[in-house]
């Protein structure tokens, strides 16, 4: 049993939205602990609340009730600046759409979070190049997004999320905008993260993608329907081909 403190947790999490006189309850009483090395896939039908949950866990939105803790701090009880610092230090984000900046090279895109954090430019670029090599793109650093395939662009986005060495990486449908070939390339990178013991929270509607995780959480009608730990998240070489 893992005795290390949770990287991220939530208690009695709720999220509601008002639509005129009507109150829509999107999430209700979500309790979750994410421990170091967890590889979690959150699954559920469209509208089940899984993306809302990811946004709350990542501090991109605030709950209507309950609490989200990152590194032991309640995200709702700190100001916007402190919340941003916590996100930048402890969390990395990868979205369905890569959101790379088209005027910059892959290496410059990956270095951007470090430059924003005021790291020395030369060191930032060296770390970006090293991270691109880790995701199999050592030779593509000088290329701009338009010169890369869809899978390569998504792997650049993953490198950008990892370059600050966050404690947890949150991925929102990382293969949802890719064809099958590029989706497989991206999942190979995901498998590397798993093999390295990275802490990962992944949202997907694809059962094959979810099968790469060691823990699968199913969301139904705004509640956790099941939380299942698998014996192993390892994927055979034949499955990766």
Does residue 142 lie within any of the structural domains? yes
Does residue 1 lie within any of the structural domains? no
Does residue 3 lie within any of the structural domains? no
Does residue 2 lie within any of the structural domains? no
Average pLDDT, the chain: 85
Range of the domain at 71: 8-240
Distance CA 160, CA 37 (A): 20
Task: Kindly indicate the confidence band of residue 3, based on its pLDDT and cuts at 50, 70 and 90.
Answer: low
What's the pLDDT at 14? 94
Distance CA 176, CA 46 (A): 13
Looking at the 3D structure of the chain, how many domains does it have?
1
Q: Which residue has the higher pLDDT, 36 or 237?
A: 36
Does residue 96 lie within any of the structural domains? yes
Does residue 49 lie within any of the structural domains? yes
pLDDT in tens, 110-160: 999 899 888 899 999 999 999 999 888 899 899 999 999 888 888 898 899
Picking from 195, 179, 173, the residue whose alpha carbon sits closest to that of residue 46 is 173
Q: What is the pTM of this model?
A: 0.82
Longest dimension (CA), the chain: 56
What's the pLDDT at 240? 39
pLDDT in tens, 157-181: 889 988 988 889 898 887 777 777 7
Distances (CA, A) of 26 to 32, 147, 219: 16, 40, 11
Which CATH number goes with the domain that contains 176? 3.40.50.300
């Amino acid at each position: 049993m893992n005795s290390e403190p949770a990287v991220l947790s939530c208690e009695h999490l709720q999220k509601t939205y008002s639509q005129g006189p009507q109150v829509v309850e999107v999430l209700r009483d979500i309790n979750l602990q994410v421990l170091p090395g967890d590889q979690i896939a959150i699954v559920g039908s469209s509208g089940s609340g899984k993306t809302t949950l990811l946004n709350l866990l990542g501090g991109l939105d605030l709950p209507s009730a309950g609490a989200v803790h990152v590194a032991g701090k309640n995200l709702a009880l700190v100001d916007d600046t402190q919340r941003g610092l916590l996100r930048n230090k402890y969390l990395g984000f990868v979205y369905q759409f890569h959101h790379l900046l088209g005027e910059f090279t892959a290496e410059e895109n990956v270095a951007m979070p470090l430059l924003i954090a005021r790291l020395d430019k030369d060191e930032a670029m060296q770390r970006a190049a090293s991270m691109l090599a880790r995701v199999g793109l050592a030779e593509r650093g000088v290329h701009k997004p338009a010169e890369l395939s869809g899978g390569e662009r998504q792997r650049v986005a993953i490198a950008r999320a990892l370059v600050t060495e966050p404690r947890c990486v949150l991925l929102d449908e990382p293969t949802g905008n890719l064809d099958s070939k590029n989706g497989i390339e991206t999942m190979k990178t995901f498998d590397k993260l798993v093999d390295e013991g990275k802490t990962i929270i992944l949202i997907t509607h694809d059962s094959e993608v979810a099968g790469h995780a060691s823990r699968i959480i199913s969301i139904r009608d705004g509640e956790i329907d099941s939380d299942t730990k698998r014996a192993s998240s390892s994927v055979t070489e034949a499955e990766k081909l």
